[in-house]
Amino acid sequence: MNGVNEIRAAFLDFFRKHDHEIVASSPLVPRNDPTLMFTNAGMVQFKNLFTGIEKRPYSRASTAQKCVRAGGKHNDLDNVGYTARHHTFFEMLGNFSFGDYFKPVAIELAWKLITQVFDLPKDRLLVTVYHDDDEAFDLWKKIAGFPDSKIIRIATSDNFWAMGDTGPCGPCSEIFFDQGDKLFGGPPGSADEDGDRFLEFWNLVFMQYEQRGPGDRIALPKPSIDTGMGLERIAALLQGVTSNYDIDLMRTLILAVAQATGVDPDGPMRASHRVIADHLRASSFLIADGVLPSNEGRGYVLRRIMRRAMRHAQLLGAEEPLMWRLVPALTREMGQAYPELLRAEALVVETLRLEESRFRATLARGLSMLEEETRSLGEGGILSGEIAFRLYDTYGFPLDLTQDALRNRNLSVDTEGFTRAMERQRAEARKAWSGSGEAATDTHWFALREQLGPSEFLGYETEKAEAFVQALLQDGTRVDHLDAGQKGVLILNQTPFYGESGGQVGDTGHIIAPGMRFKVENTQKKLGDLFIHEGVVEEGSVTPGLEVRTLVDHQRRSAVRANHSATHLLHEALRQVLGDHVAQKGSLVTPERLRFDFSHPKPVTPEEWQKIEDIANRIILENAPVATTQMSIEDAMGSGARALFGEKYGEEVRVVSMGYDEEKATDPTEPLSPFSVELCGGTHVTRTGDIGLLTIVSEGPVAAGVRRIEAKTGSAARHHLNARANVLHTLLMQLKSPEEEAGKRLASLIEERRKLDRDLSDARKKLAMKGDGESTTTWREIDGIKFFPHVVTGVDMKDLKSLVDQAKQTIGSGVVAVIGVAEDGKASVVIGVTNDLIDRFDAVSLVRIAAEPLGGKGGGGRKDMAQAGGPNGQAAEASLAAVEAALHTVLAAS
Ligand code: SER
């Protein structure tokens, strides 16, 4: 049970057996504490459980927590590699009680674990308690059977643990192991306590209070327990070694360094091996948790750690980038306990390789400048801050790298001079900005960005985080509060809200604090990295400095993620089916759908459409991991990543690849190349299967040579297809036909209908000529002229005319007047005059007379045939009578 992995497992197993919930390590970037740079203790993720703000279904928990102490208050970076205990990254084992058990059970469990499971000899153990904590003193006496001399009362803050200036705190009791007099050092509280002999390996904190501010301490709702055991320390004890760097896990990493460089790990370069082993862990775990090297904030701490390790790699004579080659050794050792490391392996490897190859280009030159500048300095000398700043500015040397490089020669740096030089440069940059002629509307963003620094984006890793409000704006002006009902903009120090860019819409959701609720209606990104949250205060008020919790609308973001990844698949599928000329001309990714514009000279055929959809869905069904890496723009282009022509990219770019391309595979021993590789800053699914399903909903032209395709994924795609299936189902029900015969059935129905129409029209005409019962009129003589008045129903205008023609033929010579009354009561009238009579009667004049009683006006046609209409069908007989009267008048006059 001696290996680090076994010790970790045994610890968790012990507490599992004692009814503790085993909770996974929280990420190194704390999501619930905006004031903390990195998670630095096991209790960080439980902070709000102690104070009672948050409730969970368990009241006992146990964890193995990854921790980083570098940057900020607990900065161990300087010492790392040179001492037996300092690390930037370490693991803390802990057990926690949230108002469940308190001191007696905590001490009992601790004693049982170390003496019965870990089998540490009792006579080598001793403890400290806070000076006035008689209860803990008595418990140790009773449970461990210690004599008074082994329970040391300490009055300093060493035995009163506090998370920070605010937060839960309480007296603590530390457990020590006496490694024997072969090592220098005295027991805790003695003058020599800093020596290595007495090793503190477990801290039991009796959480009782909450520090709310200076001098403001209240009792917690219930006394609780927080313990922290350094895994590397207990491993050293159990493995009988006196340095954390000699435990199995660290030794494996150190041997990997030795193997890669050929340098003796136990010789004079020992510290360099240790620095690299330690920094490899910190860098890899930070990258896996979403931190990328940059020149500010967390990213800069990471860069400092990486570059420090890289300088030591150079000291070991490594001629090529080294760190990335050590990653497999690390994942073998720790990947099982921390699967996030396995998932991010590609990202870690690429990020390390990129950083090291760029830094190597300036490292040697910087070091020789340093050599030159310090040649004249004697022991204890101080390097000017100006030079240290030039090393930083020109060669990318973080200050602590310069300090580390001078350490062996007992030289130091004028850090104040360094800071002054840095300030001066900032002031100059500010001046340059104001004259840079950037869009005037953006000037206030420049000022804000300069003052606040970039917002740290946490949204690749999480949708929930804590942050504090840096600034508030109303109508573009900074204000010191926003109240319920007011619209405005919030700027936070860090945020998981995605700011609209790259075609992907900005996130929405809520930003909350006790008594305050701000609805985020949109998130925008200004100047590349200043995130602004636009929305409205729904409740309470917001002021700068307020600690808030950010909640991205999860459903909406998930849909956006799926649509963004689907856009990449569609892009590649389009190229494969339509050809290499397909280039992205624009895209829009929303929760409802995705839109992709691309160059293509003609419509996509139904067969192509089907193929594109098939390819995209094949990759979705592969459920392949979606990998993100960080690369130089040149490497990314070299790898064939798709980029937008004309788009401005930074020197380092994020590359998103997904799926496997079986079609391109030729060598069975080589891994399959990815299906899609694109430069992209958007948020994506973890595996292609998360997209669920893709369906194209439309395709059409947008501009000359540019087509637009729209598609849906997941539930939206399913709803779309369901709606179409429902339409089909209804149609089939009405057709009363199975699906496969529906086409034939419909064609025959249409044919049948055509035939019926023809038959109906014929029948109506025949019927109309014979009289239909309502109208009994046939022709009659008026003063020697035949007059044929007729009223019909249900006959079309074109048929009315043919009826009039037929009637003209039947009577041979005379006047025909036929009125057709439609179902809605409207009337059409057609008047026919046989050719022999057109000198005496004019059909057009007659039809105008006929139209009047029908409520119509006018009418038109020729002398032998004219038509008109009117709304009053019920006046049909009156209309015919008016025509008859007109005939009489004409005849009487002639
Ligand atoms: N929070 C305490 C520590 O960090 C015990 O877990 O030491």
Report the atom number in ligand 1 closest to the C-alpha of 205.
5
504 Cβ closer than 6 Å to some ligand 1 atom: no
The reply to whether ligand 1 has any atom less than 6 angstroms from the CB of 95 is no
Coil vs helix vs strand at 859 = coil
Which structure tokens are listed for 681? 């800053």
For residues 690-722, one letter each, b for 16 or more C-beta atoms within 10 angstroms of the residue's C-beta and e for the rest, the string is bbbbbbbeebeeeeeeebbbebbbbebbeebee
| pLDDT tens sequence across 472-506 | 999 888 999 999 999 999 999 999 999 999 899 99
Give yes or no for residue 647 having a pLDDT over 70. no
Give the pLDDT mean for 113-137.
96
Structure tokens at 737: 């036909």
Strands (E) located in 804-886: 815-821, 827-833, 860-861, 865-870
Torsion angle in degrees (nearest 10) through CA of 380, 383, 385, 387: -170
- Is pLDDT above 90 for 127? yes
pLDDT for the residue 453: 86
Is any ligand 1 atom within 6 A of the Cβ of residue 163? Answer: no
Q: Whose CA is nearest to atom 3 of ligand 1?
A: 228
Ligand 1 contact via 204 beta carbon (within 6 Å): no
Is ligand 1 within 6 A of the CB of residue 161? yes
The average pLDDT across 137-156 equals 96
Split at pLDDT 50, 70, 90, the class of 261 is very high
Position 35 scores a pLDDT of 74
pLDDT tens for each residue of 499-535:
999 899 999 999 999 999 999 999 999 888 899 999 9
**Cβ–Cβ < 8 Å for 257, 318:** no
User: What digits encode the pLDDT tens for the residues 586-610?
Assistant: 899 999 999 999 988 889 999 999 9
Given this model, what pLDDT does residue 703 score? 84
What confidence tier does 648 reach under pLDDT thresholds 50, 70, 90? low
Cα-to-centroid distance, 56 and ligand 1 (Å): 21
Work out the percent of the chain whose per-residue pLDDT is above 90. 65
pLDDT of 773: 40
- Does position 669 have pLDDT exceeding 80, yes or no? no
Pocket probe for ligand 1: among 205, 208, 224, the residue whose CB has the most ligand atoms within 8 Å is 205
The token duo for 584 is 């992205």
3 state DSSP class of 134: helix
Decide whether any atom of ligand 1 lies within 6 Å of the 244 Cβ. Answer: no
pLDDT of residue 352: 93
| 92 CA closest ligand 1 atom index | 6
Residue 16 token pair: 């599992």
Angle at 871 between CA 868 and CA 873, to 5 degrees: 90
Q: Is the pLDDT of residue 631 over 90?
A: no
Give the mean pLDDT of 88-97. Answer: 97
Q: Considering only 185-189, 345-349, 793-797, which range has the smallest mean pLDDT?
A: 793-797
Contact 670, 689 (CB under 8 A): no
Judge whether residue 430 has pLDDT over 80.
Answer: no
Q: How far is the CA of 344 from the centre of ligand 1 (A)?
A: 28
pLDDT grade for 433, boundaries at 50, 70 and 90: low
pLDDT at 101 over 90: yes
Q: Residue 813: is its pLDDT beyond 50?
A: yes
Whether pLDDT at 238 is above 50: yes
Residue 68 scores a pLDDT above 90 = yes
Closest Cα to residue 490, out of 459, 521, 453?
Answer: 521
CB contact burial 362-392 (16+ within 10 A = b; e otherwise): ebeebbebbeebbeebeeeeebebebbbbbb
* pLDDT exceeds 50 at position 218: yes
List, for residues 533-546, the tens digit of each pLDDT value.
999 999 999 999 99
How much distance in Å is there from the Cα of 29 to the middle of ligand 1?
Answer: 17
Q: Where are the alpha helices (DSSP H) in 205-344?
A: 231-239, 248-261, 270-288, 297-315, 323-334, 339-343
Report residue 437's pLDDT band, with 50, 70 and 90 as the boundaries.
Answer: very low
Tens-digit pLDDT profile for residues 537-588: 999 999 999 999 999 999 999 999 999 999 999 999 999 999 888 888 889 9
> Which of these, 681, 584, 670, lies nearest to 628 by C-alpha position?
681
Strand residue runs (E) in 345-463: 382-383, 412-413, 456-457
Least confident range of 51-55, 363-367, 430-434, 524-528: 430-434
Between the CA of 320 and the centroid of ligand 1 the distance, in Å, is: 40
Residue 890 in 3-state DSSP?
helix
Residues 305-321: pLDDT tens digits? 999 999 999 999 998 99
Cβ within 8 Å of residue 430, ≥6 positions away: 450
pLDDT (0 to 100) of residue 777: 52
Q: How far is the CA of 252 from the centre of ligand 1 (A)?
A: 27
- The CA distance from 631 to 292, in Å, is 11
Query: How many angstroms separate the alpha carbon of residue 43 from the centre of ligand 1?
Result: 7
Instruction: List, as own/partner pairs, every contact residues 425-432 make where C-beta atoms lie below 8 angstroms and the sequence separation is at least 24, other chains included.
Output: 425/389, 425/393
For residue 75, the model assigns a pLDDT of 59
What average pLDDT score do residues 458-468 get?
91
User: Sorting pLDDT into bands at 50, 70 and 90, what band is 1?
Assistant: low
How much distance in Å is there from the Cα of 683 to the middle of ligand 1? Answer: 35
Question: pLDDT tier at 440 (50, 70, 90 boundaries)?
Answer: very low
Confidence at 77, pLDDT banded by 50, 70, 90: confident
Instruction: Name the DSSP class of 122.
Output: G
The amino acid occupying position 608 is: E
Backbone angles phi, psi at 506, to 5 degrees: -70, 155
Helices (H), ranges, 579-671? 606-622, 633-638
Residue 797 sits at the vertex; the CA angle it makes with 796 and 802, to the nearest 5 degrees, is 95
- By alpha-carbon position, which residue is closest to atom 7 of ligand 1? 228
Distance 67 CA to ligand 1 centre (A): 11
Residue 42 CA to ligand 1 center (angstroms) comes to 7
Q: Within 10 Å of residue 342's Cβ, how many Cβ atoms?
A: 14
Q: What single-letter amino acid sits at 653?
A: V
CB of 226 shorter than 6 A to ligand 1: yes
pLDDT higher than threshold 60 for residue 436 = no
Question: Is the pLDDT higher at 595 or at 47?
Answer: 595
**pLDDT at 651 > cutoff 70:** no
Contact partners, residue 421, CB within 8 Å, separation at least 6: 385, 386, 388, 389, 390
In this structure, the number of other CB atoms found within 10 A of the CB of residue 73 comes to 10
Summarize the confidence of residues 188-198 as an average pLDDT. 92
Q: Kindly tell me if the per-residue pLDDT of 272 is higher than 60.
A: yes
pLDDT at 772: 45
- Average pLDDT for 669-688: 89
Contact at 8 Å (CB) between 247 and 239? yes
Kindly give the distance from the C-alpha atom of residue 781 to the centroid of ligand 1, in angstroms, as a whole number: 121
Measured in Å, residue 235 CA sits from the centre of ligand 1 at: 18
> For ligand 1, atom 6, which residue shows the shortest CA distance?
228
Q: Which atom of ligand 1 is nearest to the CA of 42?
A: 6
Q: 873: Cβ below 6 Å to ligand 1?
A: no
Would the CB of 228 count as within 6 Å of ligand 1? yes
Residue type, position 101, single letter: Y
β-partners of residue 677 are: 657
